[in-house]
Every structure is written in C-alpha cells, then in structure tokens.
Amino acid sequence: MRPLPEIRSEDEAIGPEQAGSLAGLDDATLLALLLARGPTVDDPHSVAGGLFARYGTLAAIASADLPELARSGVGPVGLTDLKLMRILCERLARCEAARRPVISSWAALLSYVRIALAEEPREQFRALFLDRRNQLIRDEMIAFGTVDHAPVYPREVVRRALDLSASAIILVHNHPSGDPEPSRADITMTRKVADAARLFDIGVHDHLVVGRDGTASMRALGLLT
C-alpha cells in the first residue's frame, strides 16, 4: 500500500490538489485512509489488509455486518463511514436507474440491483414498483431472511402495488451463495405473485436473481411469461 495522504483530522477539509490525488490510490489504501479518520485505529494499513484478506473486495467489506467489522478492528467512525459509503453508492445508482423508464435503461437497473444486493450476506427480497410509464415509483424491502431464505407472501406484494397505484412490478432478490440460478422455490413463488397481480391488471415484468457470479433474469430464461 502507498503511504496515506496527510489528512490530520476528520474536521479538516480536503483541498483540490489532495482530492485529485485520491483517485489514483488503490482500494486498500483508500480504505486505510478512511479507517485512519477514527481515533481508535492505530494501524489502519493492517486493519485494511486484514479486511481484504477476509472479504476479498471493497464491496464485500462495505456489505459486511457491523459486529463482524468491529471484531476485525474497525472503529466507530470507520463503521459509520463504511455504511454511509455503501448507502450513497446505492442511492447514486438508483437515481441513474430512475431517470428514464426502466425498460429503456435496463443496464442502469442491473447496475443498481448489483450494487444493492450482490454482496449482501443474507437473502433479501425487494420489489420495484413502476408507474404506467415504467418509471420507478418505489423500491421496497419485502422480506429479509437468512443466508438462503427470505419468506415472501404474494398477497402482500400485490397489496403494496395497489397502495402505490403501481402498474407493474420487478421482483429482485439475492443469493448469498453467489450463484444467481433461480431455485424451484424462486420460480414457484414468482408465478404465484404474477398470477395474483394479473387479477388486478398489474404486470410482473421480471424477477432478477442477483449473486456475486452475475444476475439472472427469469423472463430471459423463459421462466416468466
């Protein structure tokens, strides 16, 4: 890792020249610089190196549970900064995905769901509710589960779509195992949601399954018609 740039306190502003130099730093040095803002971290390089050895990537580190990060030597300031960084990245990606109708900005949508879910250590199930122009109204967590299961009730998904006056839904969930291939349970649940939504003229455009190894589209796979 490179020596850390001189930022003497967390309250000191970064000048233009210093800000420009940060872009050239590798991920481990940037993480060490972030960790150095906290007064309780004596050796930020060592802590950053340990985190990369354990989690592998910056995205996986930012997605890790707070107690696990604390046990790895990350102080309170670093914990807050990492979570703020993750939330800001996710919201920036969501803004880009919501700028245009989702169907015409599919790449931005895929980028957003990957940032939001690819490195999550537990399974999450989300629903993206769209208006009649296929623009994003709301992205909501429907279920939060374990490493391999998040309970979903189709009637609750449809009820929320009606509450929001949504015309269509895109279902999204992650596989913490990394493999995005839909399971039989995923397929069955998706068809139940689609059948329930159809009764109210609400379309289910797709169900995206996100993993570290990629993103699977049930519609592209012929599993949702």
Residue 3's contacts (CB-CB under 8 Å, 6 or more residues apart) are none
Cβ–Cβ < 8 Å for 117, 210 = yes
Segment 24-69, tens digit of pLDDT = 788 888 889 888 887 777 788 899 999 999 988 888 888 888 888 8
pTM of the shown model: 0.73
Does the domain made of 101-217 have the CATH classification 3.40.109.10?
no
Domain ranges (residues) in the chain: 16-88, 101-217
Q: Give the model's pLDDT for residue 11.
A: 46
**Residue 97: is it exposed, middle or buried by C-beta count within 10 angstroms (0-12/13-18/19+)?**
buried
Instruction: Specify the range with the lowest mean pLDDT, choosing from 66-80, 85-99, 154-168, 172-186.
Output: 85-99
